[in-house]
Every structure is written in C-alpha cells, then in structure tokens.
Amino acid sequence: MDVLSDAIAAIRTGRPHSGLRDKYAPWGLRFEAAGGAGFHVVLRGSAWLIPAQGEPVALGPGDVAFLAHGRGHAIASSLDAPLEDVRLDGQGHWPEVPTPRRDAAPDTVMLCGAYLLDRSRAHPLLTELPEVVHLPARVGAYGALRTAVELLGAELADPQPGSDTIVANLLDTLLLYILRAWWQRDGQESPGHPTGWAAALADPGIAAALRAMHEDPARSWTVGELGLRAGLSRAAFARRFTALVGQPPLTYLTWWRMTTAGRILREDDTPLRLVAQRAGYTSEFAFAKAFKRQFGVAPGQYRRRAS
C-alpha cells in the first residue's frame, strides 16, 4: 500500500468514463461544475483550455491537462470560438461522443475523460493541486504516462472483447500516472525545495512514517514509534511531519482512520464492530463517538445516507 494509491481510493466512486473526440474548427465545449475531476489529452492539433479560475492554457499535441476540482471549464479551438454547453446525464456521464465526419480530417483529436469523486473526505494530497495540472509534451518525459495514453486511445478507437474492463483499469492507471508526473516535476523544478505533499512524499523519513500509518491504521501508533520508522528523534520527527504534512502525526492518523472507516461504510455492509477494529478502536462506542465528531453523524446514519 502507498499514500498516493490510498488517497485516490478514498475519494473515488463509481466508474470512470472517457472517449475520443474529433473536432472541426471552430469548436468549443463548456463543461459545467461537477463533483468529479476531468482530463483532456490532445492527440492531434491544438486547443485552448479555459479554466473557471486562472489564465487560459494553450495545449499542443501530446499535452495532458487534468482538472482536479470540478469547478467547470471550457476547451475550444480558439479563445473566441463559440462554446457549446456539455452537461452530465442522469447517470452522471457526459453525452455520447458524436460520430466523426467522413468528408474531412479533424483539426483536433482529443482523448477526454472524467472521474466521479466524493469530496467530503478529500485527501490533502489532492486538494492542494492547482486549478489545472498541465503536463506539456516533452521528448523523453513521462514515458509511462504516454504509454497509458496510447493504450487507452487504442482501446477506445477499436474496442475489442474485454475493452470495458481494460478501459476502466487504464483510466485508473492514467490518473495515478498524471499525479505521479506532477509531483515528480514539482520536485525537479524546485530541486531541494519541493513544497507541500511533494515535499512530504520526497522526504524518505516522513514518507516511511506515512506508509506505516497507511499500511496499519489500526495499530496504536505513538509519535516515538513513528519517529523510529522515520529515523528521527521523537521531537525532530513531530516538527518535520507537522511542517510538511500540515498537521501533527497523530492528528493525521485519526483523520486517516476515520476516512478509511467512511469508505468501508460507503462500500459494503461490514459490521460496525469490525469497522471500528479496522479504524483502531477496541470499543464500538468509542469509535461511534469519534466518527460522529469527524462526520457530524453516527456511523449507521452515515451508511444509510451513502446507500
């Protein structure tokens, strides 16, 4: 288990979806604000990404743009192109991609997709992302990400038996590669001075302590034990962890335990006694009290609402 995978698993709901889009200039799409996150990959041609906040971003062939916060955005052939509203259907999916024209080659070919997210317990690793994560095409850069894009594009262009499962798994893989590429780039562009969670994941000691908490959240961790995992004294570890992660070690541990419990309650009917144990509580009553303090409702009520 690792922190990035856990952060995604804690917030992901439903199945991701994607499609290839052939566009003929002038064209423009405006996506309303939604609870999920979306991405665009320009396979051919160019486009302008116009976020809800911030300056437009020029996208060229091979560029990847990820919008983590669901605030709405537009993408168009030019900044003055007319925009067509694109809205989710009743199942939370974008409309079907129009059939490509046969009388001319498209000016732009894009791979677009969206992920359904539950933002009620979003991991800070995701909430600190910028409005637009832009990964421009560079020779030799993001090799694994480029491979995932090519595989996904091939499956969407020519579906075969098993494509539904392959596409869903490739979308999950693509999301992880996008985020990994962003944090690696942050560290490369600020060598020795990464910030936020990029710094936490790049710090061997803090990363080791985070992995320990994620691997065994039910364990009765102490700051001293976590410091040993980090190879630091208790006081030095507590200071460094708080500076990089933004909260003290045991505060983060409690937050992660409750987030994990919430995900279990949403996804299956595990008895509350076992949910409490997985969250590090020997008493179901103590767990329920802590859970209500974090979520504002009792575990059983939270489960009923989620269903």
Task: Kindly report, residue by residue over 270-280, the tens digit of the pLDDT.
Answer: 999 999 999 99
Mean pLDDT check: name the lowest of 104-118, 231-245, 276-290: 104-118
CB 101 within 8 A of CB 22: yes
Banded pLDDT at 101 (limits 50, 70, 90): low
Mean pLDDT check: name the lowest of 137-141, 167-171, 287-291: 137-141
pLDDT of residue 149: 93
Banded pLDDT at 241 (limits 50, 70, 90): very high
CA-to-CA distance for 116 and 92, rounded, in angstroms? Answer: 8
Banded pLDDT at 120 (limits 50, 70, 90): confident
For the chain, the average pLDDT equals: 88
Is pLDDT of 139 > 80?
A: no
CA-to-CA distance for 198 and 187, rounded, in angstroms? Answer: 7
Report which of residues 34 and 222 the model is more confident about. 222
CB 213 within 8 A of CB 3: no
pLDDT of residue 15: 82
Mean pLDDT, rounded, for 125-132: 88
Q: What is the 3-state secondary structure (H, E, C) of 232-263?
A: CCHHHHHHHHHHHHCCCHHHHHHHHHHHHHHH
Is pLDDT of 94 > 80?
A: no
Please spell the DSSP secondary structure of the chain, one letter per residue: --HHHHHHHHHEEEEEEEEEEEE-SS-EEEEPP-SSEEEEEEEES-EEEEESSS--EEE-TT-EEEE-S---EEEESSTTS--EEE---TTS-PPPPPPPPSSS--SEEEEEEEEEE-GGG--HHHHTS-S-EEE---TTS-HHHHHHHHHHHHHHHS--TTHHHHHHHHHHHHHHHHHHHHHHHHHHHSTT---HHHHHHHSHHHHHHHHHHHH-TTS---HHHHHHHHTS-HHHHHHHHHHHHSS-HHHHHHHHHHHHHHHHHHH----HHHHHHHTT-S-HHHHHHHHHHHHSS-HHHHHHHH-
pLDDT of residue 191: 47
Give whichever of 94-98, 140-144, 153-157 has the largest mean pLDDT. Answer: 153-157
Q: Which domains does the chain have, with CATH numbers?
A: 3-189 (2.60.120.280), 203-307 (1.10.10.60)
Percent of the chain scoring above 70 in pLDDT: 91
Mean pLDDT, rounded, for 213-241: 96
Report which of residues 58 and 294 the model is more confident about. 58
CB 16 within 8 A of CB 171: yes
Mean pLDDT, rounded, for 287-303: 92
pLDDT of residue 245: 92
Residue whose C-alpha is closest to residue 66's, from 126, 130, 132, 124:
132
Mean pLDDT, rounded, for 27-34: 90
